[in-house]
Amino acid sequence: MSPISSREFSTEELLKEKRYLELLADNFPSIQKASMEIINLEAIMRLPKSTEHFLTDIHGEYETFTHVLRNASGVVRRKIDDVFGMSLRKSEKDALATLVYYPEEKMEMILKEEKDELDEWYMITLQRLAILARSASYKYTRSKVRKTMPVDYAYIIDELLNESGQEKHEYYNGIIRTIIEVDRAKEFVIEIAHFIQRLMIDRLHIIGDIYDRGPSAEKVMDVLQNHHAVDIQWGNHDVIWMGAAAGCKALIATVLRISARYVNLDTIEDAYGINLLPLATFAMEYYGIDPADVFEPKGVGNRNGKSIELIKQMHKAIAIIQFKLEAEIIRNNPQFRMEDRLLLDKVNFEEGTILIDGISYEMLDTFFPTVDPKDPFKLTEAEDELMNRLQSSFRNSELLQKHIEVLYAKGSMYLTYNSNLMYHGCIPMNDDGSFFEMEIEGKNYRGKELLDKLDIIARRAYFTCSKSTSNPVDTAYMWYLWTGPNSPLFGKHRMTTFERYFIADKFTHEEKRNPYYKFRDQEETCNQIFKEFGLVPETSHIINGHVPVKAVKGESPIKANGKLFVIDGGMSIPYQKVTGLSGYTLIYNSYGLVLVDHKHFKSIEEAVKNNIDIVSARHIVETNAKRKRVADTDIGTELKEQVQDLLMLLAAYRKGLIKERV
């Protein structure tokens, strides 16, 4: 007798659960229905575990990010090699891979290049795509595969995926010929290519920092908003946009400052429709004669049509406002213990120096037309009016609010999933390796409880921001998550933005990392964290972002004997000199863990035109002794519980405690 059918339930046990079982019977009204569902769930649990992809620190680099998604970090090309072997030349495989990645763009080229032999090209290509889709779908149930199919072509794709022998060969060729004859081949190619893409990545994990630096964070958010299965662990750069959308003026100023610093104001103005004319007008009026050379933006080019001189002036104007607004938060929240970040009052405006920790430093810039030396943190009337207008614009940007709602709906401070613990920055620690305790609302929090509490505050800050019950302390904590000395998302003792702008001595630029970054290389520390989050140390991993891995200098992303992975490989272009790479992907499939490092990606245009893929190297970092099945995953645990519930229902039917409804 099988282990399933041998499970016995006493009458007392069934009566105790009778109310629940009556509700369950609404969905499974007979022994036959309940039995078939058990068979179905048991079959699903025997399937191979589906594939998860982990990415981090995208920083608006849409082209690289979307290419990595479309090629599934090289998995599509490997699948093509596995399926077609030596039956296709390399150039044919490259062309087929590019068609899967960029079907719309590639089809425009094909229609011009193959117009004399287009039907033949369609016949060959559609057969190849059908074979590739069949191979990609093998680890899923037919039901799940059907749900993934495009609605208009679901029946046709389903037929092509389930070819069963030579005797039906003409039948399938007939389907393809009909697709061509009725002039739907182009659309079908596009739909089946996207279908293959979806099959290659069952779940996507984003370990933070979608925003800032790169040019197209809003396009990345569009992709994530429409992705079939994604979760997001907030990064410190995401939190500033979340807080800005909630109306926190200090974070609005921070968003604008960083966008000006990286010549990226078009994301704010063109994508999110936030009018920056008031800021430009203010900058020209008060800083129009200022060369503002210290505020020279990073990056090459001028992506939003404004002169670099004006961007420098806007950059400086909003930076000064930011420092004033931050001072208000610090003084109103003494529990943050961030008085060392109050620096404008340490400036000797007559001598052009600043006193920090008893040392006087010469200032690199001494032009402060909006700072009153007697009350340096007070906003001028014009600054206050400007921030009110900008706050209104951020709060009323429909697309920004929609994207931030996605961050809240799909995001969190951390996530545990299939024995993997994901968080962007760190678990704050003391110098002795113990978890740091932070007092919030009169209670001390540490470890998991601290992240849970900050998660609640972050949600409260946004979802009550338009109500009379909103609490400015909540948005202050959003700012703290960005820059606070014990923020799990920041992980440094201070953010020396002011010093980097105004002081040449690099000693003042130092930002010491939280002790976590010293201890995380130790397996013992990782085990301590696993226990804190209720995970089994022997089978669990920590997946981190935030700190770029200096691979070019030999640093490994694999820490603590394989217990922890740091997968910030420099997708953000400014970091690629440090990393020597263009990002990492961690892949977790039924066979184990694979780390993929990506080289520089030129452009989508180059990829489509010349079939150039991103060059990636795969490193197998952990192999499962036994191939993982769905039963071994978090979903498997849920399915086992469902099976047990259905077995109870069967027992209740058979004992006459519940009547069949047929």
Question: What confidence score (pLDDT) does residue 302 get?
Answer: 47
Strands ordered across the beta sheet of 203-206: 411-412, 230-233, 203-206, 52-55, 584-589, 592-598, 616-623
pLDDT at 70: 93
| 296 within some domain | yes
In a domain? residue 273: yes
pTM above 0.95, yes or no: no
Is residue 416 domain-resident? no
HSE of 436 in the Cβ direction (CA atoms, 13 Å)? 18
Task: Assess whether 30 and 163 both reside in one domain.
Answer: no
**In the listed set 351, 375, 395, which residue is the last one of a domain according to the structure?**
395
Q: Give the C-alpha distances (Å, rounded to integers) separating 480 from 178, 329, 408, 583.
A: 61, 9, 18, 28
Residue pair 641/631 in contact by the 8 Å Cβ criterion: no
Q: Which residue range is the domain that position 277 belongs to?
A: 247-395
**One domain for residues 194 and 88:** yes
Asked if residue 248 lies in contact with residue 478, where contact means CB atoms within 8 angstroms, the answer is: yes
Token look-up 């994508």 returns: 271
pLDDT tens-digit series, residues 392-412: 999 999 999 999 999 999 999
Q: Are residues 91 and 192 in the same domain?
A: yes
Q: How many domains does the chain have?
A: 3
Predicted local distance difference test score (pLDDT) of residue 27: 94
| Shared-domain flag, residues 196 and 283 | no
What's the CA gap between 238 and 209, in Å, rounded? 5
Do residue 280 and residue 378 come from a single domain? yes
Other CB atoms within 10 Å distance of the CB of residue 110: 19
Q: How far is CA 13 from CA 28, 120, 181, 651, in A?
A: 20, 66, 63, 11
Q: Is residue 420 part of a domain?
A: no
Q: Which of 374, 395, 416 is the last residue of a domain?
A: 395
Give the span between the Cα atoms of 525 and 516, in whole angstroms: 9
pLDDT in the model for residue 2: 45
**DSSP helix, strand, coil percent of the chain (3-state; round to 5):** 55, 10, 35
Q: How far apart are CA 64 and CA 504, in angstroms?
A: 35
Residue 405 lies in a domain: no
CA proximity to 241, closest of 399, 393, 404, 391? 404
Residues 37 and 147 reside in one and the same domain: no
Element spanning 16, H or E: helix 11-16
Together in a domain, 316 and 346: yes
Q: Within 10 A of 180 (CB to CB), how many other CB atoms are there?
A: 18
Q: Are residues 159 and 110 in the same domain?
A: yes
Q: How does DSSP classify residue 507? A: G
- Render pLDDT for 449-481 as a digit per residue (tens, 0 to 9): 999 999 999 999 999 876 555 578 999 999 999
CA 426 to chain centre: 16
Q: 368 and 251, same structural domain?
A: yes
Low-confidence ranges of the chain (pLDDT < 50): 1-2, 300-305
Q: Is residue 616, in this structure, part of any structural domain at all? A: yes
**Which pLDDT value is given to residue 516?**
97
CA-nearest of 59, 98, 61 to 80 is: 98
- Provide the pLDDT for residue 306: 59
Domain C-terminal end among 340, 375, 395: 395
- Assess whether 114 and 199 both reside in one domain: yes
Domain check: are 266 and 373 in the same one? yes
Evaluate whether residue 586 is within a structural domain.
yes
Q: Is residue 71 part of a domain?
A: yes
186 plus 259 within the same structural domain: no
